[in-house]
Amino acid sequence: MLDHLVARAAKAHTLQPLSTKSLDNWAKAQPAAIQTWIKAAGFKAKPGSFLLLPNAMAFLVGVEEGIDRWSLANLPASLPAGTYQLVEDDLSPAQASAHAFAWAMGCYRFARYRSDAKTFATLVWPKGADRAAVERTVRAIGLGRDLINTPAEHMGPADLAKAVIKVGAAHKAKVSVTVGDQLLKQNYPTIHAVGRGAAADRQPRLIDLTWKGPGGDKGPLLVLVGKGVCFDTGGLDLKPRGGMMMMKKDMGGAASVLALSQMIMEAKLPLRLRLLVPAVENSVSGASIRPLDVVKTRKGITVEINDTDAEGRLILGDALADADAQKPDLMIDMATLTGAARVALGPDVPALFANDDEIAEDLLRYGRAEGDPLWRLPLWKPYRRMLDSKVADIANCEPGSFGGAITAALYLAEFVSEKTKWMHIDTYGWTSGLGAGRPEGGEPLGIRALYAFIEGWLKQAAKTPLLPRRAAPRPKPGLRAAAKRPLPRPRSRR
Ligand code: BES
Ligand code: MN
Ligand code: ZN
């Protein structure tokens, strides 16, 4: 991806970015022959389109009004091979970065199993682009995509651990891995229960990375947790063929938080980071966990297995309980947790759940600003009753099929203390290839939003030193905001 961005070139073809709005004015200043050419070609500067100008070795490229993040992603694969340079006159630094990002995204290909080579056109880094930021983001997305796209045969729990170790080693992080029966000894019974049905060489494990940024122990503690189900057959409640088709991506949450961790470490953000990835295969064998089994979780809560296919929340429960005991300043988990979240929001928009309105709204805002959207769903407490079990403290899923993303989030909430600021992101970890630069396949959705959010969160923490935990409770942000707002005027009804 990044090898198709170069610092300079002896000779480069010109790319003139134009929006539908700016095209007319630009054309008016051109010789009549060019104006005729543009008209004859029917070029309207539609975002993502391009037009070769006669004799000029220059191309017009259509972009969006405002900050355009994706249109140029169409070009590297469709322009003739060669090196290109943008006309930089009107490029803001933000737009220069966004164009470089789009270009790199357009050069992604999952090539591990391909024998044919594909060529992409090259772009000269546009002036003003924040190279470090673009490179960090592109590398992270590339890593996330590759991990998710790799089939389970080559991306089992051990391979996922290797991937974390590799990222950790590059940034002098500590990584420890608890494997197989050691999970029982170290009290991660639920991770063990889900993963024990897989073959001996594909043992379940808990991958645990810790890293300290500049500032060492003084930085706030951020814990990231990712669902690492390397393949989800459903277990004894086996999925049908269609349901299993994409389940190599069921470690998409883990890939996303690993990619985000890499960004954080590469940028040397001043925080303490812990990354926890419970990694398992949800498989079928005589050792598999059964429907109606009861497991005593790490936290001591007993859970009745109503469906072995609701495995993600099971392994996350132990990881969240572990992290929560450390009293982190912020805890975020990402998981390809439910089909219900996809029914609600479709493939592109991850569902956000949070036990704190302020951080949730901040993240949504950063998501909008970065063009990496999330949408919030409620942790609607009354639905907790749907998880009542007749024999244990809780059931792992509801008997019906209403509100499945919410009940899954409520299950996770049982393992997080109310004092811990926590966000849960139910993601698809995949795109359907609807957008430029986002070919069908693995996609660490939300990590650009999260990275920007974390930068903002750190700045705020630096301004207002973190309150000691268990300080006097502050009024609920929702209520505070409501108190400031004027009362709505009664509306007349027809
Ligand atoms: N990994 C799946 C969820 C999933 C399915 C994500 C399809 C994205 C696309 C998860 O482990 C699962 O199987 N969830 C079940 C839960 C149900 C048994 C309560 C689901 O969503 O159907
Ligand atoms: Mn499942
Ligand atoms: Zn799953």
d(C-alpha 164, C-alpha 313), whole Å: 21
What the block records as the tokens of 124 is: 């000269």
- Shared domain for 252 and 377, answered yes or no, is yes
Number of domains in the chain: 2
**Is residue 145 a contact partner of residue 104, using CB atoms and an 8 Å limit?**
no
Q: How far is the CA of 312 from the centre of ligand 2 (A)?
A: 6
Q: In this structure, is residue 211 part of a structural domain?
A: yes
Q: Is 327 a catalytic residue?
A: no
DSSP 245: T
Relative to the alpha carbon of 243, which ligand is closest? 1
Mutate to test the pocket of ligand 1, among 313, 316, 338, 406 (most ligand atoms within 8 A of CB): 338
Q: Which of 196, 313, 342, 421 is flagged as catalytic?
A: 313
- As a whole number of angstroms, the distance between CA 304 and CA 299 comes to 14
Specify whether the CB–CB gap between 409 and 353 falls below 8 A. yes
Please report whether residue 367 resides in a domain: yes
Residue of minimum CA distance from atom 22 in ligand 1: 339
Please tell me if the CB atom of residue 305 comes closer than 6 angstroms to any atom of ligand 1: no
**Ligand positioned closest to the Cα atom of 229:** 3
With a 6 Å cutoff on the Cβ, whether 226 touches ligand 1 is: no
Q: How much is the pLDDT for 168?
A: 98
Cβ of residue 213 lying under 6 Å from some atom of ligand 1: no
Dist. CA 18–CA 50, nearest whole Å: 10
Assess contact for 51 and 38: CB atoms under 8 A: yes
- Other CB atoms within 10 Å distance of the CB of residue 488: 6
Q: Is the CB of 429 under 6 A from ligand 1?
A: no
Residue 426 near ligand 1, beta carbon < 6 Å? no
- Inter-axis angle of helices 93-105 and 131-149, nearest 10: 30
Q: Which residue's C-alpha comes closest to atom 13 of ligand 1? A: 309
Boundary residue ending a domain (129, 154, 178): 129
Q: What is the pLDDT of residues 114-151, one digit of tens each?
A: 999 899 999 999 999 999 999 999 999 999 999 999 99
Provide the CA 239 distance to its chain's centre, in angstroms. 25
**Residue 337 DSSP class:** -
Q: Mark whether 71 and 162 lie in a shared domain.
A: no
Residue 47 is assigned to a structural domain of this protein:
yes
- Quick one: pLDDT at residue 493? 42
Is 310 a pocket residue for ligand 1 (Cβ < 6 Å)?
Answer: yes
Report whether residue 311 contacts ligand 1, using a CB cutoff of 6 Å.
yes
- Kind plus residue range of the DSSP H or E element containing 424: strand 422-426
What pLDDT score was predicted for residue 401? 81
Structure tokens at 165: 């170790």
Residue 386 is given by DSSP the state: G
Could you say which DSSP state residue 192 is in? Answer: H
CA distance linking residue 490 with residue 386, whole number of Å: 37
Q: Are residues 74 and 139 in the same domain?
A: no
**Which residues have a Cβ under 8 Å from the Cβ of 311 and sit 6 or more positions away?**
194, 229, 232, 235, 280, 282
Q: Within a domain: residue 489?
A: no
**Is 432 near ligand 1, meaning CB less than 6 Å away?**
no
Distance, CA 267 to ligand 3 centroid (Å)?
A: 31
Q: Are residues 446 and 310 in the same domain?
A: yes
CB 233 within 8 A of CB 342: no
Q: Is residue 485 part of a domain?
A: no
Report the pLDDT value the prediction gives residue 486, as an integer from 0 to 100: 52
Whether residue 104 sits in one domain with residue 74: yes
Side chain identity at 219, as an amino acid letter?
Answer: G
Taking the complete model, does pTM exceed 0.85, yes or no? yes
307 lines ligand 1 (CB under 6 A): yes
Q: Please tell me whether residues 340 and 282 are part of one structural domain.
A: yes
Residues 196 and 338 in one domain: yes
Which residues form the domain of 109?
Answer: 2-129
Residue 477 inside a domain? The answer is no
In DSSP notation, 248-314 reads GGGGHHHHHHHHHHHHHHHTT-SSEEEEEEEEEEE--STTS--TT-EEE-TTS-EEE-S-TT--HHH
* 210 in the same domain as 350: yes
Active site residue 290: no
Catalytic option among 109, 131, 239, 376: 239
**250 alpha carbon – ligand 2 mean position (Å):** 8
The tens place of each residue's pLDDT in the chain, 494 residues long, gives 999 999 999 999 999 999 999 999 999 999 999 999 999 999 999 999 999 998 778 999 999 998 999 999 999 999 999 999 999 888 999 999 999 999 999 999 999 999 998 999 999 999 999 999 999 999 999 999 999 999 999 999 999 999 999 999 999 999 999 999 999 999 999 999 999 999 888 999 999 999 999 989 999 999 999 999 999 999 999 999 999 999 999 999 999 999 999 999 999 999 999 999 999 999 999 999 999 999 999 999 999 999 999 999 999 999 999 999 999 999 999 999 999 999 999 999 999 999 999 999 999 999 999 999 999 999 999 999 999 999 999 999 988 889 999 999 999 999 999 999 999 999 999 998 888 999 999 999 999 999 999 999 999 888 776 554 444 455 555 554 544 555 445 444 43
Can you give the CATH number for the domain in which 158 is found? 3.40.630.10
Q: Which ligand is nearest to the CA of 230?
A: 3
Residues 239, 309: Cα–Cα separation, whole Å: 8
Domain shared by 119 and 141, yes or no: no
> Is 435 within a domain?
yes
Nearest CA to ligand 1 atom 9: 339
- Closest atom of ligand 1 relative to the 397 alpha carbon: 19
Are residues 282 and 336 both part of a single domain?
A: yes
Q: How far is the CA of 231 from the centre of ligand 1 (A)?
A: 12
pLDDT tens for 26-55 read 999 999 999 999 999 999 999 999 999 987
Exposure letters 233-265 (e unless 16+ CB within 10 A, then b): bbbbbeeeeeeeebbbbbbbbbbbbbbbbbbbb
CATH number, residue 116:
3.40.220.10
- 255 lies in a domain? yes
Diameter over CA atoms, the chain: 82
